[in-house]
Structure 1
C-alpha cells in the first residue's frame, strides 16, 4: 500500500528489535496487537510511542484488525499522559515516508503532553536514560491498561 512513498532504509527494524527484547526499551504496556513505549527523545511531557506489535511500515499498510486496537491504545496513552502529567494539551502525530520525516520504517504514533506554554519540541533533544524512561512508565502505568484493548489482529 505504501508503494510510491520513499521509505527510510534500515538493515533491521529498531522497533521490531525493541519489541522482541533484542534491544532494551521501556514499555508502559503492551498486548499481542499494540504496544506503548516511552521514547528516549522526550519532545513533550511524557512523550510516548504507540505502535503495532506486527511490522507494518506505514499507516496505509496496517490491516483492518489492527486499526481498532491501535486507536484504543492511542486514546489510552493520551488519557494516561493527561491523568499523570496534567499538561495543558496533548499532541499526537504520525509520519509516513521520508518526505514526512519518518525515520524508522515501522508505523508508530507519537503522543506527548504539551510543554508549559504549549507545543512540543521538534528540535534536537537529548536522549534520556532507560532509568528515566522507567520512571515515566511507572508514573503512567496506573492510568493505562491495554488488556481491555486486546483485539484480534487480522491480516
Structure 2
C-alpha cells in the first residue's frame, strides 16, 4: 500500500481535521474512532508517515506498542470490558482502509457483537465522555511515553 499524505490520519496529525484525543506525545497520537466498532474504540497512530507496519521504524513501533498497552490498560480500568481486542491491518486484502499505519484498541464483551465498520458515526458528546473516562485512568498512571 502506498502512503498518501492526504489520508485522514495525516490530516488529523497536521491539525487539518479534529479528533477526540485520548493521549498525545511527540511520536504518537491516540484518539477515539469516529466510527467505533464498540464503545471505547481507540486508535493509536504513530506520527511517522508510513502506510504499513513493515515500514515503521523500530523506535516508532516500540513507542506505539507502549502506548497501545497504556491505552488498553486505561480502557479496561475505565470501561470494565471482559476483554480487549488489539488489531493492526496491513494492505487492502487484510482490510486496511487508511494508508497510514494504525492500531485499534477495542473493548469487548461476550454478549456484544462488533458494530459494522464504517457504518455509523458516533455522537461527539458520547465520544468525548468515554474519552474523558479513559484520560482519567491515563492521568493516574505514572508511565511516560
User: TM-score, normalized by length of structure 2?
Assistant: 0.88
CA distance in 2 between counterparts of 1:64 and 1:112 reads 24
Structure 1 runs of 4+ aligned residues shifted over 4 Å read 8-11
User: What is the match of residue 75 of structure 2?
Assistant: 81
Provide the aligned length of Structure 1 versus Structure 2. Answer: 144
The 2-side partners of 1:29 and 1:73 are apart by 9
Deviations 1:16-44 (A, max 9, x none): 11122111111111100111110011112
Alignment RMSD (CA, Å): 2.2
Which of 12, 17, 21 pairs up with 1:23? Answer: 17
Match for residue 42 of structure 1?
A: 36
Change (3 A) 1:125 1:87: farther
Please report the TM-score for the alignment, with normalisation by the length of structure 1.
Answer: 0.83
- Please list every run of 5 or more consecutive structure 2 residues that lacks an aligned counterpart in the other structure: none
* Between 110-119 and 43-52, the greater mean CA deviation after superposition: 110-119
**Residue equivalent to 1:68:** 62
